[in-house]
Amino acid sequence: MSADGRKEIQARTEGRAIARPSSAANLTVVEEPDASDEVAELFARYRTHFKRPAVPGILKCFATHPPMLRHMLGLAESFLFVDGCLTRRHKEMIATLVSNENQCPYCADSHGYALRNLGGSAEELAAIQGCDLQATTFSSHERALLQFVDKLTRASHTIDSSDIQGLIEAGWSEKQIAEAIHIAALFAAFNRIVNSFGVPSQNLLASLTAEDGKA
C-alpha cells in the first residue's frame, strides 16, 4: 500500500474522516487506496491469482468485512471459477442466466463476457439474456440444466425429486446437479449484494458487441 494510503487510514482512525468517492452508488465500498494491510494483501492475491490488473467491484463490497473477502477469494479460486463437476463454461452459463433473471447489470455483464470468452456463442448469450431456454443453440443436455436453474431461481420452493430425476435422465450426475444448485444460489446472493451496494456494470460486453459487428 502507498504511503498516502496509509496516511488516509491513519487520519480516519484519528477521527479526521477523509471523503473519497465510492465506485458504488448506494453504499461505500473499500477502494484500494483505503485498504487496510489485510485487505491490500487480499486484493494483491486476487490480481496475482487471476492475472487481472484491477480489483472488481464485488470484491470491494466483500472487503467491508475482511474475513468474508478472504473466504470469498478461496471460494473463487477453488470452486467458482475453475472446472469442477461442471465445466467453467457451464458455470458461467448458470451465472449469466441467474444474473439476468435477477436483473443484476454488473453480474449479467461480467458473466456474459466470461461466457463468450470461454467459447459461448453470441446466439447462446442472446438466448440466455432472453430466457429462451428451448433454443436449439443449446444441446438437449444443456437445455435441461438451464431450465432447472431457471426454476430454482424463480421458485426454488417448488423443486422436488422429479426435477432431480429429470436432470439425471438428461445425463447429469448427482454431483453435477449439486454443484449447479450451489452455483445458482451463490450467484443469486452475489446479485443481491452488488445491486444493493449499487455497483455499476463494467460494460465488458460492449467491446464484444463491437467486435461481432465487424465480423
75-84 pLDDT, tens digit each: 999 999 999 9
Per-residue confidence (pLDDT) for residue 90, from 0 to 100: 98
In this model, does residue 5 exceed pLDDT 80? Answer: no
In this model, does residue 27 exceed pLDDT 80? Answer: yes
- Tell me the C-alpha distance between 181 and 104, whole Å: 19
The helix-helix angle for 140-155 and 88-101 (nearest 10°) equals: 40
- Residue ranges and CATH numbers for the domains of the chain are 3-80 (no CATH), 88-214 (1.20.1290.10)
Per-residue confidence (pLDDT) for residue 21, from 0 to 100: 61
- Tell me the C-alpha distance between 195 and 193, whole Å: 6
Q: In a 10 Å sphere around its CB, with 0-12 CB exposed, 13-18 middle and 19+ buried, how is residue 108 labelled?
A: buried
- Tell me the C-alpha distance between 36 and 96, whole Å: 32
| Contact (CB, 8 A) for 180 and 94 | yes
| Contact (CB, 8 A) for 199 and 61 | yes
Q: Which three cell numbers stand for residue 20?
A: 473519497
Per-residue confidence (pLDDT) for residue 197, from 0 to 100: 97
Residues with Cβ within 8 Å of residue 196, at least 6 apart in sequence: 26, 27
CA torsion sign for 181, 73, 208, 118 is: negative
DSSP state, residue 160: -
148-175 pLDDT, tens digit each: 999 999 999 999 999 999 999 999 999 9
Q: Please report, as a single letter, which amino acid is at residue 99.
A: S
- Tell me the C-alpha distance between 184 and 60, whole Å: 22
In this model, does residue 142 exceed pLDDT 80? Answer: yes
Average pLDDT, the chain: 90
Phi, psi of 83 (to 5 degrees): -65, 140
